[in-house]
Amino acid sequence: MAPHDHDMGLECNGDHSDPHKGSWKGHVLPGCVFIIWGAWWSWCILTSYICHRESGRPYRSRAWFPLRLPGRVRRSLWFLEPALKIAVPAVGVSLELLLDHDPVEYRNLVCPKGSLYAGRFSLSHLNNWQHAASYPAFVLSGLVDIAAAYVRFPPGTCQAVLGCAFGVMAFLMGTHEKHEPQDKVVHWLLFVAMLLSTATVFLELALPRNVLAGVAKATAVLLQGAWLVQIASIEFEGRPQWSHDYSGGAIVAPVAFCSIAVLVLASVLAFYLLLVLLSRRGLLQGAALVPALEAEGEEESEQHEENCRSCELPCYHPIHGCFDSANHSEHSADVDVEGGGGEGLPGASSPKQRASSRPMSLQLAAATHYPSSL
């Protein structure tokens, strides 16, 4: 007689375990990643806005920020953020499905042949698989960021794929099954934070010239990371106030979430005031890691053109000599690729001819450290 579902053990061999519990480091590590990511965005967005405002040049958003360092190291670290979007999720998947277990063993999705429940989903492993499923979309986002440096995508592609990555994570968290009331509340609040991250990424895509949209994106990601760390404290540190034996924790959790949200917002505003003070004292312009301005002179524009001799598409990238799609603005749709080509190709023209035939807005974009295509 086949066993009923309620008699079925959570392990493939019939043993019972709790498949819905994560771990302290399983929340703290991704939380720290999002905090660092949000802090990096806050730095880049706010310093870029301040420098552009003081120079009288318009601000525009970016899907990601190159790591701007002096010297030859600059070339190798230009794609650091997209590379980390590929590497860090890959490590996360490895931890969820293999490395973060004692003993180290692969967390199979389906019970293997020979086990009591062979062919069924391994219920004790589904929590790991749900977590792991939220990472590949970020890998795709990093790959698109890099590919868009060499292939012309529609304007906003990098930002849209990034928004979809956050959306996938939010959807999986929203459908993440929990049983304890407090567990449900804290993870529902995490879903809210992830939903805010998703919404602000698409808001910035719709309003590329509005710095507040970018600041909202960075703040939402900071909140998401901070709440993940707070969940680790609530669920895994054994504090009596967060005991599952009574309903107090479930009631106070939303208060804690709002308090952290206000604290994160206040921190971002205080950071902006600090950057303004540094800028007024002349300590911000030219500093390492500060995003460059949109136009920095005709000499660099000529160098850009010389770097583009072998490119088949219009090329504005100052580092690797091809396309940079981290930027997106109204200039993006104006790029003309019909007559351009590499030397020796039909319709090819010299760099100076291509520069003179472009609209003035694109000639300005060609002179930037962060050129325009997405």
In this predicted structure, what is the pLDDT of residue 335? 38
Q: Residue 87: enclosing H or E segment and its boundaries?
A: helix 80-94
Quick one: tokens of 325?
A: 């799609």
Average pLDDT, the chain: 77
Per-residue confidence (pLDDT) for residue 209, from 0 to 100: 94
- Three-state SS at 204: helix
- What are the CA-CA distances from residue 132 to residues 52, 144, 338, 371 (Å)? 40, 20, 42, 35
pLDDT over 70 at 234, yes or no: yes
The radius of gyration of the chain from alpha carbons, rounded to an integer in Å, stands at 24
Question: Which helix (H) or strand (E) is 220 found in, with range?
Answer: helix 211-236
Token pair recorded at residue 223: 């909140």
Which ranges in 20-97 belong to alpha helices (H)?
24-55, 73-77, 80-94
Cβ neighbors of 244 (< 8 A, separation 6 or more) are: 180, 181, 182, 183
Higher-confidence residue of 76 and 277: namely: 277
% the chain with pLDDT above 70 = 68
CA dihedral 327, 333, 334, 337 (to 10 degrees): 90
As a whole-number percent, the residues of the chain with pLDDT over 90 amount to: 44
Distance CA 317, CA 308 (A): 8
pLDDT digits (tens, 9 = 90+) for 299-314: 344 344 444 333 333 3
User: 36 vs 4, 20, 33, CA distance in Å?
Assistant: 47, 27, 5
Cis peptide before 351 (omega within 30 of 0): no
**pLDDT tens-digit series, residues 77-90:** 789 999 999 999 99
pLDDT tens readout for residues 236-287: 998 999 998 888 999 999 999 999 999 999 999 999 999 999 998 888 765 5
**Domain spans in the chain, listed from the N-terminal domain onward:** 26-280, 298-366
- Bigger pLDDT: 351 vs 255: 255
Instruction: Please write the tens of the pLDDT for every residue from 175-209.
Output: 887 778 899 999 999 999 999 999 999 999 999 99
Hey, how many other C-beta atoms are within 10 angstroms of the C-beta on 288? 8
Burial 111-138 (b: 16+ CB within 10 A, else e): beeebebeeeebbbbbbbbbbbebbebb
